[in-house]
């Protein structure tokens, strides 16, 4: 093989990753799987698509070695092939956010309230949570919290906040986080808590952004 053909072959291999991540739905699958292993049924439901279409997208990601399947009886579960795949998703989103004005405008519209924390405060947030100066709540489903979560965070899924509001004192700031900047859970949680008289901020990080920044997680 001559040098030109060799270079072509090398770039072609790398291009497989680009092709696999060229679908919005497959990018969303990577974000969801960054929260932990999920069944095809759960993933299809989260994306509001059919099982057949979800399976097709997952097959493309599998062929690019980005996800790994596991069969348990009649169910098939998927997980990311490695933490580097989660970092890939974060890097792609951050590059898009840096260079695409349309994305920045869409994110501004998504996060309508100004009460959000800057990513540069990660260490400070962790220290404040450790000292009890703030309460960090993870508003994702409990199964995702159990897989991994931010240090000193407590699980309070969005659908449980209303009945557990008494657990959150009014004199301490609440910091809510979910799956990342594209997730609406923390926005909804912030609105609900503010209406109940709590001082609340939103952390734009999810576990993927947190680890990509070199910060530690807690796991079960």
Catalytic positions are: 178
The Cα–Cα gap between 23 and 90 comes to 15
Beta bridge pairs of residue 71: 76
Q: Are 205 and 179 in contact (CB under 8 A)?
A: no
Question: How many residues in the chain?
Answer: 220
Report the distance separating Cα 45 and Cα 66, nearest Å.
Answer: 21
State the angle between helix axes of 83-99 and 24-33 in degrees (0 to 180), rounded to the nearest 10. Answer: 130
d(CA 57, CA 157): 28
Q: How would you classify the pairing of strands 154-155 and 134-138?
A: parallel
Q: Which H/E stretch holds residue 17?
A: helix 3-20
Strand partners for 78: 38, 69
Token digits of residue 118: 């800057």
Instruction: Pick the closest to residue 34 from 205, 220, 206 (CA basis).
Output: 206
- The owner of tokens 């109940």 is 196
């Amino acid at each position: 093989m001559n040098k030109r053909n060799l270079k072509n072959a090398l770039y072609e291999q790398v291009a497989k990753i680009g092709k696999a991540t060229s679908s919005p739905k497959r990018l969303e699958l990577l974000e969801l799987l960054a929260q932990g292993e999920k069944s095809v049924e759960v993933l299809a439901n989260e994306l509001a698509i059919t099982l057949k279409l979800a399976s097709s997208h997952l097959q493309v990601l599998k062929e690019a070695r980005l996800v790994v399947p596991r069969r348990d009886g009649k169910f098939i579960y998927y997980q990311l092939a490695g933490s580097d795949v989660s970092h890939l998703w974060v890097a792609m989103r951050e590059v898009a956010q840096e260079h695409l004005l349309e994305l920045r405008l869409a994110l501004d519209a998504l996060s309508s309230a100004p009460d959000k924390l800057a990513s540069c405060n990660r260490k400070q947030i962790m220290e404040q949570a450790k000292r009890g100066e703030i309460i960090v709540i993870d508003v994702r489903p409990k199964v995702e919290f159990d897989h991994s979560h931010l240090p000193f965070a407590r699980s309070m899924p969005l659908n449980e906040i209303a009945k557990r509001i008494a657990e959150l004192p009014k004199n301490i700031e609440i910091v809510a986080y979910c799956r990342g900047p594209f997730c609406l859970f923390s926005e909804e949680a912030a609105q609900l808590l503010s209406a109940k008289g709590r001082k609340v901020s939103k952390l734009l990080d999810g576990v993927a952004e947190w680890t990509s920044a070199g910060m530690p997680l807690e796991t079960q």
